[in-house]
Amino acid sequence: MLDVINNALKNTDYYICLYKNRVYIYNYLEIVSFNNDLIKVSLKDTLIKIKGKNMLIKKMHVHELLIEGIIESVKYD
């Protein structure tokens, strides 16, 4: 948890935290597309594809995004 606070204080471009059945993204630009099986999120210089099952956006704030579900893969494009 201290790493998360430290990164926020340093004003990093973005970061991603992977947990069991959760993906937390800080400082995303936009949600490109989403459904229960695939969520695409745009970051400063890349696109993240999160694949899984029964996924939903649990928290969406100006800079924060929390996705929950059965996460199968997280890939950079």
Length of the chain: 77
Contact status, residue 60 vs residue 70, Cβ threshold 8 Å: no
Q: Is the pLDDT of residue 10 over 80?
A: no
Mean pLDDT taken over the chain: 87
**Region 2-76: CATH code:** 2.60.40.2000
- Quick one: which of 8, 20, 66, 69 has its CA closest to 41? 66
Task: Name, in order, each residue with C-beta under 8 angstroms of 70's C-beta and a sequence gap of 6 or more.
Answer: 21, 52, 53, 54, 55
The whole-angstrom distance between residue 56's C-alpha and the CA centroid of its chain comes to 11
Domains of the chain, residue spans: 2-76
Residue 62 pLDDT grade (very low, low, confident, very high; cuts 50, 70, 90): confident
pLDDT at 42: 94
Residue type, 2: L
Residue, of 71 and 4, whose pLDDT is higher: 71
Element containing residue 29 per DSSP (H, E): none
What's the pTM?
0.80
